[in-house]
Amino acid sequence: MKKQYLGSLVLFSGLLIGLNIPNQVDAEGESGSNSSSYPLLYEGIGGSGLDTFGEWFLTANDGYYMPFSNAMFIVDQGNSLQVDYKGDNTGPMSYAIYDEHFSVPAIYTGDYTNNTVIDLSTYSDGIYYVEVSIEKFIGAPVRPNTTLVQVNKESIEINLTINGIHGKYNPISVDHSSAKEGAVIGWVIKGENGFILEGTGDVTPEQMQTLGDGKYTIETTVTGKTMHGNPLTNKTNDNFEIRHPESTTLVDRPINPESLTGTKKIENSELTWTIYDKNNQPIATGPGNEVPRTVIKALADGEYTVKFTEMSPEAISDTSSGEFKIRRPESTTTVDKPINPESLTGTQKLPDSSLGWVIYDKDGKPIASGLGSEVPSSEMKELENGDYKIEFTETSTDGDTHSSSDTFEIRRPETTTIVDKPVNPASVTGTQKLPESSLEWVIYDSDGKTVASGVGNEVPLSEIEGLKDGDYKVKFTETSPEGLTHSSSDEFKLRHPETTTTVDKTVNPESITGTQKHPESSLGWVIYDKEGKPVASGTGGKVPQSEMDALADGDYTVAFTETTPEGLTDTSKGKFSINKKAEPKPEDPMQPVAPINPTKPADQGTPIANQKPNVLPEATTSKTETLPQTGETKSKSSFGLAISSFIGMIGLVGVKKRS
């Protein structure tokens, strides 16, 4: 679309006006809210000198700007305008709206303030002139400054007509029309699931016939052009429905049915039924979606057809049908075993009959029932031990019944397994449901291997105590006199703590460590002096060197204690002495031996590396396990403390004293 720049001089209301429109204006109009303006320059007055006016600015909030023409702004399809005056005049402002003939009086007049919105949205189609004026300040012999805006308002109409005998149901076509010359009409038909069909002009019968049953919306759009060539558009929509009757017939059983029902597709359709004999003669008829039970019961033995017919409001019909037979009943009941039967079955004489069963307890109370020729195994499994009666009843379609029955006894084993504690249990027991049954138990290790077994309702404690630490499963099995078995099981864990204490040297040890048997246990240590008073303690598998360095000369005992999550404990001990003045045993009579715990020169203060310490007797160790139930202790092992005497020293390494 070609753009052009507008600028000219025009004579307006007797004034010489200079036009300055800085915006690029479309040849057919520019849509948007850009401002077009022109300045009022000056007017000579009796030679008395110059009188400067100002500049008008126009903002159209919608529609299209048109080329400035005939000394006025032009807006196509504008509904909202704003005028702004910038200049020397300081008097009051006003505005007026005129029709296309500039008839007097004006359609509307009123006061105005810069940039106030002038609303034309409620005005009908036509051409209007908006005149905005501002008075010269008081006392000045000059006419008001005035600007003029021509506004064109146009709309385009669209007519939509749905054609059909039944209105919006099953229409045959849709017509469109518009009075606007050159109007273009397009339409879209949407179903409940979205787009279906689109086209232009009218919707033809051929196009309507492509639509299946359902609810539809037709959306129609008309487009044209204004007198200035700008686009016009309008939309409308309407709804219609395509529907055809469709009935269904349901016979619940082909022989001796209990239910004859039908359905219809259209809610306000009529539904009727008719029963025909094998000669196609109607013998019963009525309205609704179900044949009454009394009608079915009144039928004699024979073959029949039932038909349901749906008639739509548009007088379109659809018929469906089903066939069935009527006969008379006779049942039988069979129990495969008198005790703990595996099968309870019944038979019926007529395939078209219904067959039901009921189980009664010894007091004659019904406790389970159902339909069919066999009691489901799931129902039998739910029965508690006791005496029962099973009864099968065949019911014909005419209401005649026949019942047969038999009795049986339920006697099933059922065990339970109880482990008093999941870890280190003190009691593992089992129960049985039948006194005449036998009860056995088996213990399996984590690999599923049998490690112990026996009979009775309790695993002897000696068997449990004889097991090693690990994961186990115990299973109790009850065996009834009929050879039925039932097993139950539970799991447990055995774990007992066991610590060790290692002192690398009995005199001035450099390493005191302990171990635990179970990773989930906690491990702690305590150092006691010779009076048995604790002088240091901590957690973990090693006594820190700093704790050992802090000990004064003397005899000590270190104890490591492992505590399991169940509270079982085990303690092991080691003894050692601290003698910071002790001298080392020489390795070679010809060479001096470094003292115990030698240190580097004063500037380093750490043990001298690569020095072989004196060979001292190993530390003694002992260990005790504490049972949380009784608090008793059980000695695991002990070693006698043996301290060897030093062999004669050959010499001492000189140590430089720090000043």
616-656 pLDDT, tens per residue?
333 344 444 444 443 444 444 333 333 233 323 323 222 22
The domain made up of 248-326 is a member of CATH 2.60.40.10:
yes
pLDDT above 90 for 145: no
* Segment holding 270, helix H or strand E: strand 270-277
Burial of 235 from C-beta contacts in 10 A (0-12 / 13-18 / 19+) = exposed
Backbone angles phi, psi at 623, to 5 degrees: -145, 145
Nearest to 351 by CA among 252, 250, 277, 256: 256
Least confident of 39-43, 243-247, 398-402: 39-43
More confident: 13 or 520: 520
| Residue 531 vs residues 33, 117, 208, 543: alpha-carbon distances, Å | 102, 104, 111, 20
Q: Note the pLDDT tens digit of each residue in 253-303.
A: 998 899 999 999 999 999 999 999 999 999 999 999 999 999 998 998 899
**Is-contact 269 317, C-beta < 8 A?**
no
pLDDT band of 53, cuts 50, 70, 90: low
Residues 6+ apart with CB under 8 A from 482: 339, 340, 411
Dump pLDDT digits (tens) for 94-142.
999 999 999 999 999 999 999 999 999 999 999 999 999 987 765 554 5
At 87 the three-state DSSP class reads: strand
- Residue bearing the bigger pLDDT, 409 or 611: 409
Highest mean pLDDT out of 14-28, 143-157, 388-402, 492-506: 492-506
Identity of the amino acid at 172: I
Position 17 confidence tier, pLDDT thresholds 50, 70, 90 = very low
Three-class DSSP labels, 279-344: CCCEEEEEECCECCHHHHHCCCCEEEEEEEEEECCCCCEEEEEEEEEECCCCCEEEECCCECCCCE
Report which of 355, 478, 464 is spatially closest to residue 414, judged by C-alpha positions. 478
Residue 346 carries which side chain, given as an amino acid letter? G
Give the pLDDT of residue 397: 75
Lowest mean pLDDT of 45-59, 436-450, 462-476, 614-628, name the range: 614-628
Q: How many CB atoms lie within 10 A of CB 523?
A: 20
- Domain covering 159-242: architecture: Sandwich (2.60)
Question: In what order do the strands lie in the sheet containing 302-311?
Answer: 282-287, 270-277, 302-311, 317-326
The CA-atom distances, in angstroms, between 7 and each of 30, 39, 221, 385, 394 are: 16, 11, 39, 110, 105
Strand partners, 302: 326
pLDDT above 50 for 23: no
* pLDDT at site 143: 56
How much is the pLDDT for 56?
A: 83
CATH of domain 3-153: 2.60.40
| Element spanning 545, H or E | helix 545-549
Collect all residues with Cβ–Cβ distance below 8 Å to 648 and sequence separation of at least 6: none
**559 residue type, one letter:** A
CATH class of 416-494: mainly beta
Q: Which two tokens stand for residue 569?
A: 């404990």
Check whether 446 has a pLDDT greater than 50.
yes
Instruction: Give domain limits for the chain.
Output: 3-153, 159-242, 248-326, 332-410, 416-494, 500-638
Q: Which residue has the higher pLDDT, 602 or 273?
A: 273
Most confident of 53-57, 381-385, 592-596, 604-608: 381-385
Instruction: Please check the confidence at residue 61 and state whether its pLDDT lies above 60.
Output: yes
Whether 391 has a pLDDT exceeding 70, the answer reads yes
Is the per-residue pLDDT at 454 higher than 70?
A: yes
Q: What is the pLDDT of residue 592?
A: 40
**Where residue 604 falls among pLDDT bands split at 50, 70, 90?**
very low
Q: Are 3-153 and 159-242 the same fold in CATH?
A: yes
- Surface-to-core class of residue 165, CB atoms within 10 Å of its CB (0-12 exposed, 13-18 middle, 19+ buried): exposed
The answer, yes or no, to whether residue 201 has pLDDT greater than 60, is: yes
How many Å is the maximal CA-CA distance in the chain? 144
Percent of the chain with pLDDT over 70: 78
Q: Say what the pLDDT of residue 51 is.
A: 33
Q: The dihedral of CA 396, 402, 408, 414: what is its sign? A: positive
Tell me the residue ranges of DSSP E strands in 154-259. Answer: 159-163, 173-177, 184-191, 194-200, 214-225, 231-242, 248-251
Top-confidence range, 50-64, 213-227, 577-591: 213-227
Instruction: Please provide the DSSP assignment of 241-259 as one string.
Output: EE-----EEEES-SBS-S-
Poorest-pLDDT segment among 251-265, 482-496, 560-574, 599-613: 599-613
Question: 332-410: what fold?
Answer: Immunoglobulin-like (2.60.40)
**What is the pLDDT averaged over residues 215-243?**
95
Instruction: Please give the pLDDT value at position 224.
Output: 96
SS3 546: helix
Mean pLDDT of 17-41: 35
Q: H helices within 328-439, ranges in order? A: 377-381
Give me the residue label for tokens 């915006």.
23
Residue 37 in this model has a pLDDT that exceeds 50:
no
Bond from prior residue into 519 cis (ω within 30 degrees of 0) = no
pLDDT on residue 68: 72
What is the per-residue pLDDT across 332-371, written as a single tens digit (0 to 9) for each? 999 999 999 999 999 998 887 899 999 999 999 999 999 9
**Predicted TM-score of the model (pTM):** 0.41
What's the pLDDT at 140? 53
For range 414-421, the mean pLDDT: 96
